[in-house]
Amino acid sequence: MTATSPGNVVPIDRNGAPSLDPIMALVANGMNSVNSVILDRMQSRIPLIPELAGHLIAGGGKRMRPMLTLACAELLQYPGTRHHKLAAAVEFIHTATLLHDDVVDGSGMRRGRRTANIIWGNSASVLVGDFLFSRSFELMVEDGSLKVLKILSNASAVIAEGEVSQLTAQRRIETDESHYLDIIGAKTAALFAAACRISAVVAERDEAQEMALDAYGRNLGIAFQLVDDAIDYDSDGATMGKDAGDDFRDGKVTLPVILAYARGDADDRAFWKAAIAGHKTSDDDLAHATRLLRETGAIADTMARARHYGQRAIDALGPFANGQAKAALTEAVAFAIARAY
């Protein structure tokens, strides 16, 4: 990874940029099977369910989490197919979370398309999310591993706790870095960790290997979310598929804001306080916020933090043999970080 000096974002050459191609090639066959399970199991005799779920599921997501389950199984040279159903269960949990998140945030755009809550209303999004969440447990029960059920039911509870914690922290400029890390560790990284860890369970590996994959997924998840939160101040709808400045207008205290607030002078702090409280929502205010984030090095240092967690993810793979799978998982980390620019 390229070193950066504080306050200075190094643009990455798109030609040489890390990509998801290696991991996608690694798991291509398995993902066809996972996609079949997803399409099959989102069906219902109530037509609105596959219609709404299909909008989000077919809507261009990368399916990072099931890809990770499959790639970790490749890393362990697991020869079976049990993990296909479980990877679909993980994606259903994620999809249910997205549906509920968009209701909670009142979001209008995701992955470059109108959100389900805008098209079908909040009620339908809440209830179809509940359906997918239930369906994910049905899939896990069919697999029959109580250990997998334990890991994923715990991850689900932790995700919900993280979402509630984020809601509580919203519009509170006092939120500090460690509180923020707790939140993203719960709302994002817990499911990445579980997605990776369950592959070691189906492959019947020991606790150490389970926890190594858990650590890989968890650190990757944190890096992923840090980059997401940096992107929110540095994207437009066309590139990232959602509206820039959503977090700013929602009063979400993400790491860029925490750093800029901590490093700012009295005027800057007054601005951030007012902005997070919801009193600065114009395009000019967002432009001023972005300028402060750049001047204080907050965006660059959020990316530096992301690289730190990315490196920890890569190092967690240390115990596993080198090869195609490890290289693909390593490049997935680099991709998660580089996708910002």
Residue 126 contacts its own copies per CB under 8 A: yes
Contact assessment for residue 136 and residue 93, using Cβ atoms and an 8 Å cutoff: yes
Q: Which of 218, 233, 150 is nearest to 184 (CA)?
A: 218
Mask 132-151, x = binds its own copies (CB under 8 A)? -xxx-xx-xx--x-x--xx-
Mask 9-48, x = binds its own copies (CB under 8 A)? -----------------------------------xxxxx
Residue 127 contacts its own copies per CB under 8 A: yes
Coil/strand/helix, residue 110? strand
Phi, psi at 170, each rounded to 5°: -60, 140
Q: Which stretch binds its own copies (CB under 8 A): 4-12, 97-105, 193-201, 269-277?
A: 97-105
Residue 154 contacts its own copies per CB under 8 A: yes
What is the rounded distance in angstroms from the CA atom of residue 219 to the CA atom of residue 101?
A: 22
Q: Which of 82, 83, 100, 249 binds its own copies (CB under 8 A)?
A: 100
DSSP codes joined into one string, 45-83:
SSTHHHHHHHHHHTS----HHHHHHHHHHHHTT---SHH
Q: Residue 63: CB partners within 8 Å, gap ≥ 6?
A: 31, 34, 35, 91
Output the smallest distance, CB 242 to its own copies, in A: 18
Residue 128 contacts its own copies per CB under 8 A: yes
Q: Which stretch binds its own copies (CB under 8 A): 1-9, 20-28, 163-171, 202-210?
A: 163-171
Q: Residue 319: CB partners within 8 Å, gap ≥ 6?
A: 208, 209, 212
Minimum CB distance to its own copies smaller for 44 or for 281: 44
Q: Which residues of the shown chain bind its own copies in the complex (CB under 8 A)?
A: 44-49, 96-97, 100, 103-104, 122-124, 126-128, 130-131, 133-135, 137-138, 140-141, 144, 146, 149-150, 153-154, 156-157, 159-161, 163-165, 167-168
